C-alpha cells in the first residue's frame, strides 16, 4: 500500500499510475484516473539548474524532459565549460542502489555527481574504505580459488591501494595520510584474523541486474555466503546505532534482483577507534523493504527525468567537509552550506 498526500493508502500497483497522473496533471495532459479524481501529489518545480536550459535535448517550456528539440529559435550554444549531461536521462539507462541512495539523500548532489560530473575527490576516510575493501576482496577471491593467501599479502594489497588512491585525494584538515594508512592496515588485520574465518563464502563481487518497478537496475554484491546471506564489511569512525536505511535499500535491491538470495544480510562495521571493534548487524529483507524499493526506483527515475534536483541541506552529509559539491551548490541554489 502507498500513501498519497493525505489520501488513504492505495495499492502499490496503483501508486505508479497515480504518480504518472500527478506528473501529467501539472500540465493538464491527462484526465484523472478512475475511480476518483485526486489532486496532484507533487507540485513540480519548474526550476532546473542553469545548464538544463541550454541543452537542446530538453524542452524548457515543459515540466517534462523530452528528447526532441524544442521548436522556435535555436537554443543558446552550450559553453565549453558546461559538461555535457551524462547518459543518465537516456531511456533505458540503469540506476545502481548507490546512485538511487545518493538521489534520495540529496537530489542536487546526484545532479552534480552524475549529470554535471563535477570532480568528486575522495577524502582520507573514503581512501581508507576503498583500500580496506580491496584487501578484503583479495582475501575472498583467494579463498574461493582455493589458494588462501597469508594475512601479510592482504595488508600489502591494502597499502598499495591506499598509496594509489591517496595521490588524488583531498584530505580533510584533521586527516593524516600516514595515520590513515596504518589504521587501514590494522582494520584489515583484525577483520581477517577475527571475523573472516567464521564466514563460508560462496561468491564474491557478484554482478546483479534486472528491472525494479520498470527501471533497469544493476549492482555488485560484495560477498554471498553458502546460505545465501549477503555479507558486507565497512570501516567507520564510530559504532553504528542501527542498520542504515541506505544499506537496507541496497540489500533489498539485491534481493529483488536475485530472488535466490535468502534475504538475510549482515553488515560488519569495523570501527576506526583506538580499540578496533567489529560490530555485526543482521537483518532480513521483508515485504515492506521490497515494496519500498519497487516504489522508489520509479520515483527516482521520474524525478531525474523531470529535473527535480533540489538541494537537501538538512541531510547528515550536507556540509563543507562531507560534500565536495558545496561550492557549486551554493552558487546554483544560494543559501549557505556550513
Ligand atoms: S552541499 Fe548539501 S544540499 Fe548541496 S549538493 Fe551537497 S549535500 Fe546536497
Nearest CA to ligand 1 atom 1: 326
Q: Which grid cell sits at 73?
A: 529559435
Q: Which grid cell sits at 154?
A: 592482504
Grid-cell match 515494496, residue found:
291
User: Coil, strand, or helix at residue 316?
Assistant: coil
Q: pLDDT (tens digit, 0 to 9) for every residue of the chain, 338 residues total? A: 333 333 344 344 443 443 343 334 333 344 444 444 433 333 334 445 555 444 444 443 433 333 333 444 444 443 444 444 455 556 557 899 999 999 999 999 999 999 999 998 888 889 999 999 999 999 999 999 999 999 999 999 999 999 999 998 888 788 889 999 999 999 999 999 999 999 999 999 999 999 999 999 999 999 999 999 999 999 888 888 889 999 999 999 999 999 999 999 999 999 988 788 999 999 999 999 999 999 999 999 999 988 899 999 999 899 998 899 999 999 999 999 99
Nearest CA to ligand 1 atom 2: 318
Q: Give the pLDDT of residue 65.
A: 36
Do 329 and 337 contact (CB within 8 A), yes or no? yes
318 lines ligand 1 (CB under 6 A): yes
106 lines ligand 1 (CB under 6 A): yes
Phi, psi of 8, deg, nearest 5: -60, 160
Q: Give the pLDDT of residue 122.
A: 86
89 lines ligand 1 (CB under 6 A): no
Q: Give the pLDDT of residue 4.
A: 35
- Rounded to the nearest whole angstrom, what is the distance from the C-alpha of residue 21 to the centroid of ligand 1? 30
Torsion from C-alpha of 183, 189, 195, 198, nearest 10 degrees: 160
Q: Give the pLDDT of residue 25.
A: 36
Task: Tell me which of 49, 102, 105, 109 to substitute to probe ligand 1's pocket, judged by most ligand atoms within 8 Å of the beta carbon.
Answer: 109
CA dist., res. 326 & res. 315, Å (int): 13
- Rounded to the nearest whole angstrom, what is the distance from the C-alpha of residue 107 to the centroid of ligand 1? 8
Q: What is the DSSP letter of 197?
A: G
312 lines ligand 1 (CB under 6 A): yes
Q: For residue 244, give every residue at least 6 positions away whose Cβ sits within 8 Å of its Cβ, in sequence order, or none.
A: none
Give one DSSP letter per residue of 91-126, joined into a string.
Answer: TT--B-HHHHHHHHH-HHHHIIIIIS-------HHH
Nearest in space to 279 (alpha carbons), one of 289, 287, 270: 270
CA dist., res. 102 & res. 201, Å (int): 29
For the chain, the distance separating the N- and C-terminal CA atoms, rounded to the nearest angstrom, is 38
Amino acid at each position: 500500500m502507498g500513501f498519497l498526500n493525505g489520501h488513504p493508502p492505495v495499492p502499490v500497483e496503483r501508486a505508479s499510475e497515480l504518480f504518472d497522473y500527478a506528473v501529467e496533471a501539472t500540465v493538464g495532459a491527462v484526465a484523472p484516473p478512475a475511480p476518483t479524481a485526486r489532486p496532484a501529489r507533487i507540485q513540480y518545480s519548474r526550476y532546473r539548474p542553469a545548464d538544463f536550459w541550454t541543452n537542446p535535448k530538453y524542452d524548457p517550456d515543459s515540466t517534462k524532459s523530452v528528447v526532441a528539440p524544442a521548436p522556435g529559435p535555436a537554443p543558446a550554444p552550450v559553453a565549453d565549460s558546461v559538461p555535457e549531461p551524462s547518459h543518465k536521462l537516456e531511456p533505458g539507462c540503469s540506476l545502481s542502489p548507490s546512485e538511487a541512495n545518493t538521489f534520495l539523500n540529496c537530489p542536487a548532489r546526484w545532479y552534480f555527481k552524475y549529470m554535471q560530473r563535477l570532480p568528486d575527490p575522495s577524502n582520507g576516510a573514503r581512501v581508507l574504505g576503498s583500500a580496506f575493501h580491496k584487501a578484503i576482496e583479495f582475501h575472498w577471491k583467494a579463498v574461493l580459488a582455493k589458494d588462501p593467501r597469508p594475512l601479510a599479502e592482504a595488508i600489502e594489497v591494502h597499502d598499495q591501494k591506499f598509496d594509489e588512491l591517496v595521490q588524488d585525494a583531498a584530505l580533510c584538515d584533521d586527516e593524516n595520510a600516514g595515520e590513515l594508512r596504518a589504521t587501514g592496515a590494522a582494520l584489515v588485520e583484525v577483520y581477517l584474523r577475527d571475523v573472516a574465518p567464521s564466514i563460508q563464502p560462496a561468491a564474491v563481487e557478484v554482478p546483479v541486474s534486472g528491472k525494479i518497478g520498470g527501471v533497469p537496475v544493476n549492482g555488485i554484491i560484495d560477498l554471498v555466503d553458502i546460505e545465501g546471506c549477503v555479507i558486507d564489511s565497512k570501516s567507520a569512525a564510530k559504532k553504528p546505532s542501527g542498520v542504515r536505511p541506505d544499506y537496507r535499500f541496497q540489500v533489498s535491491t539485491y534481493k529483488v534482483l536475485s530472488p535466490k538470495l535468502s534475504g538475510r544480510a549482515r553488515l560488519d562495521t569495523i570501527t576506526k577507534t583506538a580499540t578496533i571493534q567489529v560490530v555485526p548487524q543482521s537483518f532480513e529483507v521483508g515485504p515492506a523493504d521490497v515494496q519500498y524499493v519497487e516504489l522508489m526506483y520509479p520515483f527516482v527515475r521520474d524525478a531525474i527525468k523531470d529535473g527535480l534536483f533540489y538541494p537537501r541541506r538538512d541531510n547528515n552529509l550536507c556540509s563543507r567537509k562531507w560534500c565536495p559539491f558545496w561550492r557549486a551548490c551554493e552558487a546554483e541554489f544560494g543559501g549557505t552550506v556550513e
